[in-house]
Chains A and B, each alone.
Chain A
Amino acid sequence: MSNTSFPIPMLHSTIRIMAPFLLAAIGGLFTELAGMLNIALEGLMLIGAFFSVVLAAATGSLFLGVVLGILASIVAAYVFGFISLNLRANIFITGLATNLFAEGLTVVLAFQIFGNKGVIRFANLSKLPDLSIPSLQRIPVIGDIFIGHNVLIYISWLMVILAAIVIYKTPFGLRIRGTGSNPGAIEAIGLSPRRYGMYAILISGFTCGLAGAVLSLQMGAFVPGITSGRGWIALVAIYLGNKNPLGIFIACLVFGFAESFSNYAQGIMDVPADFILAFPYIITVVAMIAYSIVQHYRLKGSEG
């Protein structure tokens, strides 16, 4: 990584930091379009983070770790979906339940397996392979910022494109959107809105599992609460991104930049760590309020 001037490494790390937001938000977009508020993103991510790093270390294979981490997250998503949709529980409460469950389960398992509730490092774990294309990397600025990240980062971009295609170009996407907009229309043609809701939840399980894997495998460690509110921020990104993949990409870019900037600020100024940690929340809540003010006046301005 060339250190020409300070914004370049900051932008480079922006790209890295935004990936988990992006993945979680893209999965959350499916549930949002299917008409459900998915608070469980945070917990699903946490489960993905825990199982992917632990199982990668146990199997010695990063790939297997990622796959199994995603699988664990999908299983959790299924439970969340089953209770919400089939047992007709309030999805907002079950979302909280998923988060609490993930929090409890990861700590209990970590303690029982490693005898430790703190940071668990996996020394034997190999690094995520970087995608390095020397010829592209030599392009000034662009090459510095966009090239040389690990493969999961690029996979997250692929997921955005894939999501856009699925949502707008396939019958499945059409039905998911129909489910959210008018479940009666889906029911009237003999399809089950509940089933499409479940598909959306499982997709969010998939992307959140991957998002968690990105977090923990990049670090080569598991930390309790490693997701530290990213699921919530992703949720806000869905709204700020106007519920479309491109908008979400931009919103996540902004959040990634904010976090990257605060990390950088910590390096050069003497800001307490807790403030740095609080920064993404503050940015997010401010962005959210600003967004709702804009929406409010747009709506109000449209009347007389």
Chain B
Amino acid sequence: MNRQRVASLMSSVTGLFLTIAIAFAIVVLMILILSDEPGRAIYYFFIGPFTRAYYLGNMLNQSIGLMFTGLGIAVAFKSSTFNLGGEGQAYSGAIVATVIMLALPNMPGFVGGTAAIVAAILMGAFIAGLSGFFGMKWGTDQLISSFLLSAAVILIINYLVTGPLDDPTNSMLTTPRIGQQYQLLRIFKPSKLDISIVFAAILAIGTYFFMQRSHWGYEMRMCGLNREFAKYAGINVEKYLMVPMAISGGFHGLAGAIVVMGTHYRGLKGVTAGLGWNGIAVALIAKNNPIAVIPAALFFAYLDAGARAAMLHSDVTFELASIARAMIFFLVTAQALYGLFNSKKKVTK
């Protein structure tokens, strides 16, 4: 039994390694083709994030949001529900938190901050929960409905940020700045890394225990692995079409709030852009294991940081990271690369 586990872990690791290697190879290839100074671009893409403390700190900072959204997706996927609306949920969380903090300029930081975070979580949970609800009630495809809802939400928030919530005192399309008391402690200056990274790591461990040991976690996993079996055994499977979606949305809303409180201190257009999609990538590469979400989020933050460094120091553009990410998406579920190991995730309709 143990040998079995080790073997499956090994093939899983080699598969992952192969996936990442192929993704990097494609990026290198693209740099070689497109860049006039490929050596420089490649150097900064891979080493850049470690060349300055500032870059390193920002990279770590970026992983925070990814941990939250990655956890949100991992919980949804483990329960075989599909949340493709992470982008909109995170964005809505960011905006709701911003609005609350702006509305309470004189509240103590802890009270107002907590209110903002809770509201953001509820908002994300509500939007994702809607898709969950439709799926539960009428069998509406959650994957497509969550995407469409999120797409609509993003546009509406764009309008809010650039319209009614716009800060008239500056020329940028942003909301006013949130009060000092709401700004999370920066722990690695001058970078933007803030204290919430500790919180994210603790939450990842907590989520792991929640999924493995708690009542809801067990029932959700059973539904995720085999809905027919869960129903037969008397587990309320309808409920678990909605609950994991709402939890997942809550994680995304939280991510949005933290990004505003820790990094930007204001709502701006596209403040959480990419967190949703990257969250899916993080969960996939972590094989939906909440603890593995931590390194997976660090890895994707590294990809972004590398692409950003390469952009700053050479002639390539930041979107190289999204190509690498796409390649990982392409290959991470490819069973042929993962040898015998086959978790047979049921990610079909």
For chain A, residues 76 to 115, give those with C-beta under 8 angstroms from any C-beta of chain B.
Answer: 79, 83, 86-94, 96-98, 100-101, 103-105, 107-109, 111-112
In whole angstroms, how far apart are the Cα atoms of A22 and B277 in the complex? 27
Q: Is the CB of A83 within 8 A of B148?
A: no
For chain A, residues 256 to 277, give those with C-beta under 8 angstroms from any C-beta of chain B.
Answer: 272, 274-275, 277
Q: Is the CB of A104 within 8 A of B139?
A: no
For chain B, residues 130 to 147, give those with C-beta under 8 angstroms from any C-beta of chain A.
Answer: 134, 137-141, 143-145, 147
Residues of A within 8 A of B325 (CB): 100, 104
The size bracket of the interface on A is 35 or more
Q: Is the CB of A285 within 8 A of B159?
A: no
Q: Is the CB of A112 within 8 A of B334?
A: no
Residues of A within 8 A of B144 (CB): 232, 235-236, 288
Q: Which of A87, A232, A278 contacts B331 (CB 8 A)?
A: A87
Q: Is the CB of A111 within 8 A of B348?
A: no
In whole angstroms, how far apart are the Cα atoms of A94 and B156 in the complex? 29
Q: A101-B327, A288-B141, A296-B137 are in contact. List 10 more A-B contacts (CB 8 A).
A: A83-B331, A88-B334, A92-B82, A92-B347, A94-B333, A97-B327, A97-B329, A103-B326, A112-B316, A275-B159
Q: Is the CB of A90 within 8 A of B336?
A: no
Residues of B within 8 A of A86 (CB): 336
Q: Is the CB of B335 within 8 A of A104?
A: no
The smallest beta-carbon distance between A11 and chain B, in angstroms, is 25
Q: Is the CB of B335 within 8 A of A292?
A: no
Does A281 belong to the interface (CB within 8 Å)? yes
Does A229 belong to the interface (CB within 8 Å)? yes
Q: Is the CB of A100 within 8 A of B322?
A: yes
**Most chain B beta-carbon neighbours within 10 Å: one of A88, A93, A236, A239:** A93
A-contact bits for B160-196, CB 8 A (1 contact / 0 none): 0011000000000000000000000000000000000
Q: Which of B162, B326, B336 contacts A100 (CB 8 A)?
A: B326
**Most chain A beta-carbon neighbours within 10 Å: one of B141, B143, B158, B329:** B329
Q: Which of B147, B149, B162, B347 contacts A93 (CB 8 A)?
A: B347
B-contact bits for A148-162, CB 8 A (1 contact / 0 none): 000000000000000
In whole angstroms, how far apart are the Cα atoms of A182 and B158 in the complex? 45
Q: Which of A109, A272, A284 contacts B148 (CB 8 A)?
A: A284
In whole angstroms, how far apart are the Cα atoms of A242 and B329 in the complex? 30
Q: Is the CB of B156 within 8 A of A111?
A: no
Residues of B within 8 A of A121 (CB): none
Nearest A residue to B311 via CB reads A111
Q: Which of A90, A104, A285, A289 contacts B323 (CB 8 A)?
A: A104
With A101-B327, A108-B34, A112-B316 as given contacts, are A278 and B156 in contact (CB-CB < 8 Å)? Answer: yes
Q: Is the CB of B151 within 8 A of A229?
A: yes
Does B8 belong to the interface (CB within 8 Å)? no
A-contact bits for B313-338, CB 8 A (1 contact / 0 none): 00011011111011111111111110
Residues of B within 8 A of A79 (CB): 330
In whole angstroms, how far apart are the Cα atoms of A295 and B139 in the complex? 9
Does B345 belong to the interface (CB within 8 Å)? yes
Q: Which of A93, A117, A281 contacts B151 (CB 8 A)?
A: A281
Residues of B within 8 A of A96 (CB): 84, 277, 280, 329
Q: Which 4 A-B pairs have the closest CB atoms?
A: A104-B322, A97-B329, A101-B326, A274-B159
Q: Is the CB of A101 within 8 A of B317?
A: no
Listed A/B pairs (22) with beta-carbon separation below 8 Å: A86-B336, A90-B333, A96-B84, A96-B277, A96-B280, A97-B326, A97-B329, A97-B330, A100-B277, A104-B321, A104-B326, A107-B319, A108-B316, A112-B35, A232-B147, A235-B144, A274-B162, A275-B159, A278-B152, A281-B149, A285-B145, A292-B139
Does B284 belong to the interface (CB within 8 Å)? yes
Q: Is the CB of A104 within 8 A of B319?
A: yes
Does A282 belong to the interface (CB within 8 Å)? yes
Nearest A residue to B157 via CB reads A274
The B interface is mostly helix, strand or loop, or mixed, namely: helix
With A89-B330, A272-B163 as given contacts, are A108 and B155 in contact (CB-CB < 8 Å)? Answer: no
Does A58 belong to the interface (CB within 8 Å)? no
Size of chain B's interface in residues, with CB distance under 8 A? Answer: 52
Residues of A within 8 A of B138 (CB): 289, 292-293, 295-296
Residues of B within 8 A of A111 (CB): 317, 319
The smallest beta-carbon distance between A226 and chain B, in angstroms, is 15
Nearest A residue to B148 via CB reads A285
Residues of A within 8 A of B348 (CB): 37, 91-92
Residues of A within 8 A of B143 (CB): 37, 39, 92
Residues of A within 8 A of B330 (CB): 79, 83, 89, 94, 97-98, 101
In whole angstroms, how far apart are the Cα atoms of A229 and B85 in the complex? 13
Q: Is the CB of A87 within 8 A of B148?
A: no
In whole angstroms, how far apart are the Cα atoms of A90 and B329 in the complex? 10
In whole angstroms, how far apart are the Cα atoms of A239 and B349 in the complex? 13
Q: Is the CB of B152 within 8 A of A90?
A: no
Q: Is the CB of A281 within 8 A of B148?
A: yes
In whole angstroms, how far apart are the Cα atoms of A244 and B134 in the complex? 25
Nearest B residue to A108 via CB reads B319
In whole angstroms, how far apart are the Cα atoms of A96 and B151 in the complex? 15
Does B30 belong to the interface (CB within 8 Å)? yes
In whole angstroms, how far apart are the Cα atoms of A39 and B277 in the complex? 14
Q: Is the CB of A101 within 8 A of B335?
A: no
In whole angstroms, how far apart are the Cα atoms of A293 and B134 in the complex? 9
Nearest A residue to B284 via CB reads A93
Nearest B residue to A296 via CB reads B138
Q: Is the CB of A292 within 8 A of B140?
A: yes
Residues of A within 8 A of B331 (CB): 83, 87, 89
Nearest B residue to A101 via CB reads B326
Q: Which of B156, B323, B337, B345 contacts A101 (CB 8 A)?
A: B323
In whole angstroms, how far apart are the Cα atoms of A112 and B155 in the complex? 28
A-contact bits for B290-327, CB 8 A (1 contact / 0 none): 00000000000000000000000000110111110111
